[in-house]
Structure 1
């Protein structure tokens, strides 16, 4: 079977669960906030109660991953323990405490002819999520989608199949016991890549797809899907240190952006420095980064510092997700913007400066989902933004951009109310 030849048996199985999700979404759209919140609390309690079952399934996944020689960092993302299960449950309770976006009036007015016009938030209907490794995403995604009135089809990686199966089983039972259709949460059946591809082709049954994972996964979903996709964030994030920067502040921001957590999409991967402060700043920042274990891949000016590795063009376009950073000296702010426009993934880019004109120009010229002034790129996060929950960070420009909270899991429709009006 080639990649271009659908497996009709797999496709039929995926369409079957998608059809059940569509029916569940129709019922869920009528559910009150109280009913949805009660289900979320029941799911949280059920996860804690079923902790031994979930952890036993997860232990099998972890053992299989370790036997296969999977990288330690990936195994750590896969691994669950009592505290991580508790955190998943607490995340569901947190979502229950958030305002319900469904029914929110985005804008409204009374037209000159007396018609009342309202644009209101409504659920998408059925959301498919394709993701890698971390089984905590299973509960997070289910909770966020349910709160926004959507049924969800979850396609995790095969490495977490036992864990995800156990978690989804718990969530489905809790939904049913709360009076909601259990099919508001389902795993996409089957193994290998074909079920995910069938999900990507389920246009008309699935309203939107959200990929969460590495660049390869995201690119595959974006390029191969016939279902609309919200593209989430590969993060080649930049910090630009301007000529008017507070250099002590700049060192702190660069260190936090790069080292506070390296394996996330909002970690800084590239450092740009204005040439007017390079002589003073480069020795300080390189020393600080190296003390933190960071390898600097720099241009000729940076390479004059001990221990700096000469950078290639490929380095400037990389999302390292490790203790590595590319670095270059630029002649001015315009060159910094040009560099960012060439290499940035459009996720998060920051400027460090005391100049308001420089900050305003940077904000206007850099076309990314988040642009930060005198702040670490690590702040691009739904929790840090006060959204309370996040499904991912969108780097596209349609519908949702940046951290996606509950409102981004909805569409809108217009409600027009008249009194016998005819045109």
Structure 2
């Protein structure tokens, strides 16, 4: 029984490998429409175009899900389904959020859960296709273009958010999303700088690291400052180990040079960013005080509904009385993913959600030897630091963008693992 199961699994892997390589046997000719409509080709170009499109404009929003769903059905019909190892945890996470519907019986809760479900399923959908060839080079070209675009925007014609007129930004439709996009470019080129050989790549990556670090500083998002302080030493220790201190010193010198150059052209931005960073420790600051009010209220709501919460997307001024007129206007959510979910989904939801997140982190941690695994790991860690201080699920633009990048990274490592396993079985 076990030998038969192993044999069947080996045959499936061999067929997948054969399908991925485009090989066809005489008894299995490809239909004409399958030769014309290539899901792997469509996935490659669509994904490489969607990443910069999401950075430049937020107009795409949820339209991409229809495309990826149709492409997924076509690919599975053509080549069969490829497991990535996240299926069970993803289903548990979605069901955990959906459990908050019990007791509220509000259809809006299920609608919001399905909106989140589409996002977290993206890596599973994207694992069905062949890995994009020379993805690292393609992303280097895309991110370097975004770095130049972002610097031009911030220095000459920055966007300004509607409700906080002191927050300039250069990507997407909101300064919080813009900072996430800038941070992703910073992490990509930091990994490239560490891992690529050759002085040309080193200089190219270092220049882009400095540009993206400047963009992060200019957008004045305190969660990004904390992510820089917490994550960069961890990355350097993991990547360099014994040379970490020297590398950190070199990086600090480069950052100091970048800040000095920025001070020459835009001294007001440097002063504003420094003041904003200093305000992180000021508990009397309006933003900090407001968050503490929301977080305390979230804990109180959780104590009253510890099992499955009050319903996903319901911790806001429409459903909860904050009893604080000063911050009532900003009470759209807890301004923290953790505290929002604690109040809205209770223990069931938050345990299920973090089981999914930890599984995703572990998947990339195990594959951090590859550049795609390392970049995805650091990106996810940085995003979770941001999620401590903001509820990105309520706008979803940054979540979609990050999970598109995570899906690309997972596709690279999972498909290579599957191809390697198939070759071992053939031997």
* TM-score of Structure 1 vs Structure 2, range by shorter chain: under 0.3
What TM-score comes out, normalization by structure 1 length?
0.23
Structure holding more helix per residue: 2
More strand by share: 1
Higher relative contact order (CA 8 A, sep 6+): 2
